[in-house]
Amino acid sequence: MGFNDDDAVAAMERLARPNSANLKRFYVDCWSDEMRTVSYAELQERASGGNEAFMKWASQVEVVWALDHADAIGDHHSGQESQRS
């Protein structure tokens, strides 16, 4: 079906935790104040370089489980604000 290993992990999570069945995995780039979601393709592309700049950037990318893009950014952003306070 063309799925990758990350999709398999996500499927196992859904089986292990049925209450998360409707959640989707988002990668949130927290590098700057303008948080954004990052596609799996972009992660793969950036990782192919395997350099120090990628490692620094990747340390600021977090996995967020949410219903949609707005929830992923919104929930994560509110958490970041409380951590900064």
Can you give the pLDDT at residue 28?
92
Can you give the pLDDT at residue 81?
42
Residue by residue, pLDDT tens for the chain (85 residues) are: 788 887 887 777 777 776 666 788 889 998 777 889 999 888 888 888 768 888 888 888 888 888 888 888 885 555 544 333 2
Q: pTM of the prediction? A: 0.61
Can you give the pLDDT at residue 85?
26
Contacts of residues 71-77 at CB distance under 8 Å and 24 or more positions apart, as own/partner, are 72/26, 72/28, 72/37, 73/28, 73/35, 73/36, 73/37, 76/28, 76/30, 76/35, 77/35
Can you give the pLDDT at residue 78?
53
